């Protein structure tokens, strides 16, 4: 014990925080020669302020000066986890930011890196070990585990070591933010590696991974199997959304003129009530019988045909898009090979096989978060009510299971808060609210006190928990000039209910607790 104390005391004496922005040759060499088991530093680049072109040809602009370090981690001989950390040379805010990826990853998310470094964070990202493409690692089971949980932890541990060498400082706050696959990474960190981060932001988390991908199979079979007549076009989904809004808007807490739902669970809508097309006369303003049957199946959600047990949450009402792509089938190819045929998927036996092989390494469904809570860590989770890719009911179900594990809502709110965003699509976009700076862009039109990352920092470092955020609805992609309206969003189970006045003003809404606990929950064996 005494020897350990002396070594660490001497180490602290040697760690003198950097006070200027110049990087010496000796410092660069120190980083190049860092020795960590299974880790290779592949590039160390002193990047001046201005524009930067990535190795893949992506052009980034208006960057501060930073030190770019790329490294590869191999926790197993089969692994090949590529990571980068970008460290500001001036105005480092004294914090580390881990960022998430999307889909099957396979590449570095440079958008997240540039956004983080512009905000003063030493920022890291990983390709999650699936490069060049998640569909191409069929014969590499260790890389499946890297994708599931190891890559984010490796990125975090190695990046912190590099930061200590460069900044000569070992004490700072660490944060993680990611959406979709990044949300899975976030919850996996909270559950498996609670010491890695002080604050974790999990957006639209794909944490119930094997069953989320089964949801994609279920919907594709429903819409494409049995003839083209069952295919639901974009126009058809938009027409459906208008009918749902006509039936439900103003009854769910939102403003009467909304074209999105605030709380889809309040909306009761039977596809059988849809206008039916006459034989041989299918138009965009009616539905063929096969299309209605497809919608009934989609809004029921994936079910085990033998046992009747629920596998995953159904699609929420109100969206205008339906995910119809084969790009999400990589994990089925890992189990069944490159010739996997989704039409033949058995939702009983095949589901069981996928879960037995991939469930333990891909799913982050554990509601026991006591370790991160006990060390003072905080979690913010958010999901759009119109998310058609990772439906909100699954995140609601996970959060409600955390509440049960904690013994109550108050005990959960002490460290974990969940914001449902009315009308937002997958990680952003949608007809409703779509921005609370979850993309780290520091929007000039957004009040920084309501920026979700700033709110997290305030909670972790000052103990001020976020009781609300102001979210913005921008016109499409213009997040500078075209603000349509703003509303507050509140920690679940509160929703922004319209009270009176201008529906575009946040002051016209207040947080009201809606009924909760009635989410269609998967069977216990599909929550592992």
C-alpha separations of 76 from 71, 158, 160, 433 in Å: 15, 15, 21, 43
Provide the pLDDT for residue 11: 34
List the pLDDT tens digit at each of the 528 positions of the chain. 332 222 333 333 333 455 445 678 888 899 999 999 999 999 999 999 999 999 889 999 999 999 999 999 999 999 999 999 999 999 999 999 999 999 999 999 999 999 999 999 999 999 999 999 999 999 999 999 999 999 999 999 999 999 999 999 888 899 999 999 999 999 999 999 999 999 999 999 999 999 999 999 999 999 886 566 677 888 888 899 999 999 999 899 999 999 999 999 999 888 999 999 987 787 888 998 889 999 999 999 999 999 999 999 998 887 777 777 788 999 999 999 999 999 999 999 999 999 999 999 999 999 999 999 999 999 999 999 999 999 999 999 999 999 999 999 999 999 999 999 999 999 998 899 999 988 776 554 444 556 899 999 999 999 999 999 999 998 765 455 588 899 999 999 999 999 999 999 999 999 999 998 878 899 999 999
Provide the pLDDT for residue 474: 85
Provide the pLDDT for residue 349: 98
Residue 426 to residue 403: CA distance in whole angstroms? 24
Provide the pLDDT for residue 15: 39
- Pair 235, 496: CB distance under 8 Å: no
Provide the pLDDT for residue 446: 45
φ, ψ for residue 444, nearest 5 deg: -65, -20
Provide the pLDDT for residue 518: 78
Q: Which class for 268: exposed (0-12), middle (13-18), buried (19 or more C-beta within 10 A)?
A: exposed
The Cβ of residue 39 has, within 10 Å, a number of other Cβ atoms equal to 20
Which runs of consecutive H residues, i.e. helices, occur in 135-193? Answer: 141-145, 151-167, 181-192
Residue of 97, 132, 90 whose CA lies nearest to 114? 97
Provide the pLDDT for residue 229: 63
Write the DSSP string, 350-384: HHHHHHHHHHHHH-------HHHHHTT-EEEEEEE
Question: Domain segments of the chain: what residues?
Answer: 24-171, 211-361+517-526
Provide the pLDDT for residue 86: 98
Residue 105 to residue 414: CA distance in whole angstroms? 33
Pairing assessment for the beta strands 483-489 and 469-474 based on DSSP bridges: antiparallel
């Amino acid at each position: 014990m005494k020897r350990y104390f002396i070594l660490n005391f001497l180490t602290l004496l040697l760690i003198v925080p950097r006070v200027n922005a110049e990087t010496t040759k000796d410092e660069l060499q120190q980083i190049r020669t860092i020795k960590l088991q299974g880790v290779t530093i592949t590039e160390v680049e002193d990047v001046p302020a201005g524009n930067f072109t990535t190795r893949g040809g992506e052009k980034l602009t208006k960057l501060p000066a930073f030190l770019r370090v790329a490294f590869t981690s191999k926790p197993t001989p089969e692994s090949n986890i590529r990571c980068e950390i970008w460290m500001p040379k001036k105005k480092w805010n004294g914090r580390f930011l881990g960022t998430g990826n999307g889909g099957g990853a396979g590449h570095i998310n440079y958008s997240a890196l540039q956004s983080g470094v512009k905000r003063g964070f030493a920022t890291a990202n990983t390709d999650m070990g699936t490069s060049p493409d998640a569909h191409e690692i069929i014969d590499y089971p260790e890389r499946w585990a890297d994708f599931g949980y190891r890559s984010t932890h490796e990125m975090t541990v190695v990046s912190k070591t590099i930061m200590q060498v460069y900044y000569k400082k070992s004490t700072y706050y660490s944060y993680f933010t990611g959406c979709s696959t990044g949300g899975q990474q976030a919850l996996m960190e909270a559950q498996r590696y609670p010491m890695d981060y002080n604050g974790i932001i999990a957006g639209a988390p794909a944490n119930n991974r094997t069953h989320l991908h089964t949801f994609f199979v279920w919907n594709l079979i429903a819409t494409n199997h049995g003839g083209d007549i069952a295919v639901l076009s974009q126009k058809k989904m938009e027409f459906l959304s208008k009918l749902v809004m006509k039936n439900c808007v103003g009854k769910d807490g939102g403003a009467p003129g909304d074209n999105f739902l605030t709380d889809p669970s309040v909306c009761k809508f039977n596809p059988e009530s849809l206008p039916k097309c006459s034989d041989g006369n299918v138009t965009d303003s009616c539905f063929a019988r096969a299309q209605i049957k497809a919608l009934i199946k989609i809004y029921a959600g994936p079910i085990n045909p033998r046992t009747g047990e629920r596998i995953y949450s159904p699609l929420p009402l109100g969206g205008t898009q339906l995910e119809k792509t084969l790009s999400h089938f990589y994990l089925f190819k890992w189990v069944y090979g490159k010739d996997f045929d989704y039409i033949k998927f058995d939702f009983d036996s095949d589901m069981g096989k996928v879960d037995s092989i991939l469930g333990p390494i891909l799913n982050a469904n554990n509601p026991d978060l006591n370790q991160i809570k006990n060390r003072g860590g905080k979690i913010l989770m958010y999901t759009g009510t119109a998310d058609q890719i990772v439906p909100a009911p699954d995140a609601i179900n996970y959060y409600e299971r955390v509440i049960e594990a904690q013994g109550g809502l108050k005990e959960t709110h002490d460290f974990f808060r969940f914001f449902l965003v009315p009308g937002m699509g997958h990680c952003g976009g949608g007809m409703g609210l779509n921005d609370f700076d979850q993309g780290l862009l520091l929007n000039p039109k957004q009040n920084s006190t309501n920026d979700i990352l700033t709110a997290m920092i305030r909670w972790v470092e000052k103990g001020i928990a976020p009781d609300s955020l102001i979210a913005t609805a921008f016109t499409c992609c213009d997040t500078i000039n075209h603000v349509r309206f703003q509303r507050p969003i509140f920690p679940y189970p509160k929703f922004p209910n319209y009270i009176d006045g201008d529906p575009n003003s946040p002051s016209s809404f207040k947080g009201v607790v809606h009924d909760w606990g009635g989410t269609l929950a998967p069977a216990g064996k599909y929550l592992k």
